[in-house]
Structure 1
Amino acid sequence: MSPATWGMLLGGLAGLGLVLAGRRVFVIRRPPLAQRVLPYLRDVPSPGAPTRYADLDADPSRSAIAGVFGPVLRSAADTVERVLGGARSVERRLTRAGLDRTVHEFRIEQVQWGLVGFAIAAAWGLLRALSGQASPLLTLLVCLFAFVVGVLFRDNWLSSQVKSRERRILTEFPTVAELLALSVAAGEGPVAALGRVVQRSGGELSRDLGVVLAAIRTGEPVGAAFDQMAAATGLPLVSRFAQGVAIAVERGTPLADVLHAQAGDVRDAGRRELIELAARREVLMMVPVVFLVLPITILFAFWPGWVGLSLTV
């Protein structure tokens, strides 16, 4: 082949490569469909917003660790799931706790907590081995027990997270319900009032209402969105509130009266709970009086007489 032919062939290949590279750059730079649509849905987080769990690929070291230990952790999580079970209960508690993760991710967290307990027990066994008091069988049993305790403690902590979040929801509920009632009484529609309250308030209940508002603005009927909220929550008061709003919207009953009544019910329930808590704590308050103050009082009363009798004898 002549040099002109070689030059033409190489030039054609180079031009084809530049065209393919340019086309690929154009495809990469073009924003995806989600980025073009989501800015018009104000209540749905945009893809560029920071998330709670960063992608492991963003950090090469974490990506390498995940690549090495990820299959082992996933296998251990599957084993924990087979042993403990209760995936539906865990999924419901994760929803009630407001945690954005799957059951499998939670099982991986349980394995990690168990490994932390195993490491602490192994360090204790190593210290005993260095002091010459080690028993391999006892150390192994303690390590396994620490692993089980770590796994179960994470499950217990999830229940504590659920209770803490539900207490915060009950604290916020009367104020949010009154704000909704005021907005509706001022002439706004249910969706507009809900948007105003979500925009002006912050908290766990506002976050749940934000999810409801996002579902409504993406085409979900108002009643169905509130019915889903009632099914997801574990609080009877919030469930009755969501069902009451759904029924009021569907049947056209006065929504402001329903919201005022719901807020009053929550306040009454809070007062009853406070009275019951005070009645339970009343017994506990007697413990320092009976076991600390009373013995000291008796001692101060009888000790001088006892000393006087001893000197007389």
Structure 2
Amino acid sequence: MSAAVWGGVLGATAAGGAWLAASRVAAVRRPQLASRVMPFLRDLPQPDGLRAATPAAGTTNPLAAVFGPSLQRAAAGVERVLGGSTSVRRRLERAGLDRSVHDFRVQQVVWGLVALIGAAVIGVVRSIADPGAVVTSLVLCGLAFVGGVVACDNRLTSLVTRREREILLEFPVLAELLALAVAAGEGPVAALDRVVRRSGGELSRELATVLAAIRTGEPVSSAFDRLASRTGVPLVARFADGISVAVERGTPLADVLHAQAADVREAGRRELIESAARREVLMMVPVVFVILPVTVLFAFWPGVVGLSLTTP
């Protein structure tokens, strides 16, 4: 082929690439139909997938504009394969994360891609040294992607466990403060407002959500019923149910709060005793393998040295 033909081919290729890039930029900059219509339909409920797929107003991140649709399609694929959106939504609520299920699936895909990139780098290095390890590297990449997705899910579970542990630690103090405020003559809403303004933590944020719902017109018993159904801690659910019943039936609220705090402290002591009983064998490991050999060595070593000195 002559130089003119090669020049024509290269020019056509460059022109085609420029046209594709320009058309993609125009498609990205063009506002979508959902972004133009949804601001006028704010009162309508939106599914998680539609809410995640709708771009936020003023979004100027080029990476999100280019890779966002691909990540969303991959997240939809992960959702179809794994399922369990109800469980994920429940765990997101229990973890206190203001995030939809689709956003969490996108995060899982990102974690999987990061693990996949790391495994691909290792596979390339191995393939340079051993060209026959290509199939093993591909399998490793697939396992790395799955491991990243599973690791993200396990991290969400660990966040839920840590937050519920913090709620249990905060609960007795906040319950006692509420009981003192109610015993001083304040109503449930005023006592809740006082405690929320003077405390911080996960349980305080949950109570702030309850207080906001009450101030918007929701009944006190209904707001605490929602707290009982939302939380994953049985003691907090029982606390919310107790307050709801006390408000509805007019029973002394201070006594209920004191009893709830005492129950939580007793449950904490019982859990500590059970944990110590489960770890009794582990507590014996340093005694048997560290302290006892040293004691025996200190007891018998002088005798061994004396025998060696007196032996002719």
| TM-score, reference length from structure 1 | 0.76
User: Which of the numbers 151, 163, 166 marks the counterpart of 2:164?
Assistant: 166
1:102 shift after superposition: 0.5
8 A contact 1:233–1:239 mirrored in 2: yes
1:158-307 equivalences in 2 (<5 Å): 158-295=156-293
Residue equivalent to 2:50:
none
Write the letter of the residue equivalent to 2:177.
Answer: L
1:248 shift after superposition: 0.4
8 A contact 1:73–1:108 mirrored in 2: yes
1:296 shift after superposition: 5.1
Distance 1:289 1:124 in 2: 44
Distance 2:145 2:290 in 1: 40
RCO higher in 1 or 2 (8 Å CA, sep ≥ 6)?
Answer: 1
Return 5+ residue gaps in structure 1 as ranges.
1-31, 33-54
Distance 2:131 2:297 in 1: 46
Residue equivalent to 1:68:
66
The answer to whether residue 100 in structure 2 is matched with residue 102 in structure 1 is yes
User: Which of the numbers 144, 147, 154 marks the counterpart of 1:146?
Assistant: 144
| Cα gap change, 1:129 to 1:300, in 2 (>3 Å) | farther
| Cα gap change, 1:134 to 1:212, in 2 (>3 Å) | farther
Residue equivalent to 1:119:
117
SS of the aligned residue for 1:76 comes to helix
8 A contact 1:125–1:134 mirrored in 2: no
Distance 1:184 1:95 in 2: 29
| TM-score, reference length from structure 2 | 0.76
Write the letter of the residue equivalent to 1:208.
Answer: E
Distance 2:136 2:70 in 1: 26
Distance 1:286 1:148 in 2: 39
Aligned-residue Cα RMSD (Å) equals 2.5
Return 5+ residue gaps in structure 2 as ranges.
1-38, 40-54
| Cα gap change, 1:181 to 1:114, in 2 (>3 Å) | same
Distance 1:133 1:287 in 2: 48
Task: Encode CA deviations 1:17-67: one digit per residue, 9 max, x unaligned.
Answer: xxxxxxxxxxxxxxx9xxxxxxxxxxxxxxxxxxxxxx976673xx21111
| Cα gap change, 1:79 to 1:166, in 2 (>3 Å) | same
8 A contact 1:244–1:258 mirrored in 2: yes
Q: How many residues align?
A: 257
Distance 2:184 2:82 in 1: 52
| Cα gap change, 1:164 to 1:170, in 2 (>3 Å) | same
After the TM superposition, list the runs of 4 or more consecutive aligned residues in structure 1 that deviate by more than 2 angstroms. 55-60, 129-134, 288-306
Residue equivalent to 1:6:
none
8 A contact 1:223–1:246 mirrored in 2: yes
Q: Which moved more, 1:264-273 or 1:117-126?
A: 117-126
The answer to whether residue 162 in structure 2 is matched with residue 157 in structure 1 is no
SS of the aligned residue for 2:279 comes to helix
Write the letter of the residue equivalent to 2:94.
Answer: R
Distance 1:126 1:229 in 2: 52
8 A contact 1:97–1:158 mirrored in 2: yes
1:166 shift after superposition: 0.5
| Cα gap change, 1:300 to 1:123, in 2 (>3 Å) | farther
Distance 2:149 2:130 in 1: 30
Write the letter of the residue equivalent to 1:270.
Answer: G
